[in-house]
Amino acid sequence: MEQLINSVKERERSWLNNVGDVESEGNLWIPGERELYYNLPTNDLVTGYVDACSMFIDLSYRRLRQLNLSLYLKTSQNLLVTHLHLQYNKLVELPGEIFIELRNLMYLDARNNDLISFPKAVQGHEGLQTILLQDNLIEYFPIELGSLEGLQTLGIEFNPMKFPSHSVLSQWRNKKEVVDFFRRCWEAKSTNVPAVVRKKIRKVFKPKKQKFIKVKDHSEIVYDLQRSPNLKKQKEGEKIKEQHQRTQKVLQKVKDKDFLEAWQDKYRAYKNEDRFVLLHPPPYGVDDRYNKITSKMEALKIDSQKNKGVKYRLNLDEEISGLKERLANIGKETHYKDPDKEMAARLREIKTIRKLQKKIEHLKYRS
C-alpha cells in the first residue's frame, strides 16, 4: 500500500516538473483524482455527440479553476452544444460568455464547485431546461433565472444562501416551486415575493356508498329457527309461522270481500235494464257471509254512502243515429290540391272508420 502511495506521489512530482507552471502556460486543468488514483488516461474525450444534431462537453473531475471553452471547442460548433458538464471542479465563477455563445444549451451541471456567484448574462436564454448548482458557495442567486421560459429544473441546495433564504427553501416541495419562485421575482423585479403561491383546492363532496343490508325473508327466518338445536328458538319459529298464517287469512278475507263487492256493483248496474246483459258468474270460495246479493233497499243505501250505483241504460236508436251521422260526414271531407294535406285528410278518414268498426263491435256485444 505504501509503495502504491509513493508511486502516485512520484507521478505527481514528475508531471508537475514537466508541465511547469500551469497557469503561466495557459493550461486550464491538471489531472484530478480520477486520473491519478485510478490510472486513467489524462487525454480522454472532452466532447462528443449526443445525437446527429447535438454535442456535449464533459469537463468534470478535472480540478478546473478557470473555464475557457475555446480550448476544447471550435467556434463553428457552439450552436451544436446542448449539454455542459462542469461538476467536481474548483471553478470560482462562470463566464457569462458561455450563455451568449452556447445559444442551444439545454443542460448545465456545475455541482460541487467553489462558485461564489452565478452570471446574470443567463437572462433570456431560450434553451436552458436544467441548471444544477448544488454544493457551491453562492449566497445570492440572480432573479434573472426567472426569465428562462424553458427552465424546468433548478437545483440550488447546499449553498450558504441569503437569497433565497433557508426559511423560503423549507417551504418548497419540488423543483417546480423553485422555478415558479424565481419567475415571480422576475415579473415583480423584486426579491420580496412569497415563497409559495398555492391554489386553494375546494373539497368536493363525495357521498358515501350506501351499504345494502340483506333482509331475510319470513320463510328464511322461520326455517332457521325451526332448524336450530335450541328448543326455545324452535317454539319461537312455530309461533311466528302460526301468526303469519293468521294474518294471511285475514288479508284473504279482505280481498274476497272487495272482489265480491265489485261484482255486486256490476250486477246492480245491469239488473234493471230491459236488455239482456251477460255477466260473469258470482265468485266462489269467498266467505259465506258476503256470498249473497243485496236487496234493492240495501243497494240504495250503499250507493248513497259510496256515491256509486249510477245506472246506465243503452239506447240503441241514439247509438245508431250517431253512427249514421259520422258515416255521412266522412264523405263530406273536402279535397285539397296539396298532396300532403290530402294525405292527412285521408288518414283522418281511415282513423274514423276504424273507430266506427270498434263501436259497432261493442254494440253487438252489449245488445
At residue 271, the pLDDT reads 63
Residue 300 pLDDT: 66
Confidence tier at 88 by pLDDT (50, 70, 90): very high
Pairing of the two strands 130-132 and 153-155: parallel
pLDDT at 169: 84
Distance CA 326, CA 349 (A): 10
- Rounded to whole angstroms, the Cα distance separating 276 from 273 reads 7
As given in the structure block, the three cell numbers for residue 284 are: 266462489
Question: How far apart are the C-alpha atoms of 310 and 347, rounded to whole Å?
Answer: 37
- Which pLDDT tens digit goes with each residue over 61-79? 888 999 988 888 888 888 8
Distances (CA, A) of 271 to 165, 293, 299, 300, 314: 105, 11, 12, 13, 13
How far is Cα 60 from Cα 56, in angstroms, rounded to an integer? 12
pLDDT at 40: 37
Instruction: Calculate the alpha carbon distances from 21 to 16, 31, 70, 91 in Å.
Output: 8, 14, 20, 18
Please tell me the predicted confidence (pLDDT) of residue 329.
76
Provide the pLDDT for residue 326: 77
List, as own/partner pairs, every contact residues 20-27 make where C-beta atoms lie below 8 angstroms and the sequence separation is at least 24, other chains included. Answer: 23/65
| Beta pairing, strands 47-51 & 54-58 | antiparallel
The overall longest dimension of the chain from CA atoms, in Å, is 145
pLDDT band for position 152 (cuts 50, 70, 90): very high
The three three-digit cell numbers of residue 298, written as one number: 240495501
Q: Is the pLDDT of residue 295 over 90?
A: no
More confident site: 260 or 331:
260
Phi, psi of 57 (to 5 degrees): -125, 120
Three-state DSSP at 197 gives: coil
Q: How confident is the model at residue 360 (pLDDT cuts 50, 70, 90)?
A: confident
164 preceded by a cis bond (ω within 30 of 0): yes
Average pLDDT of span 195-222: 77
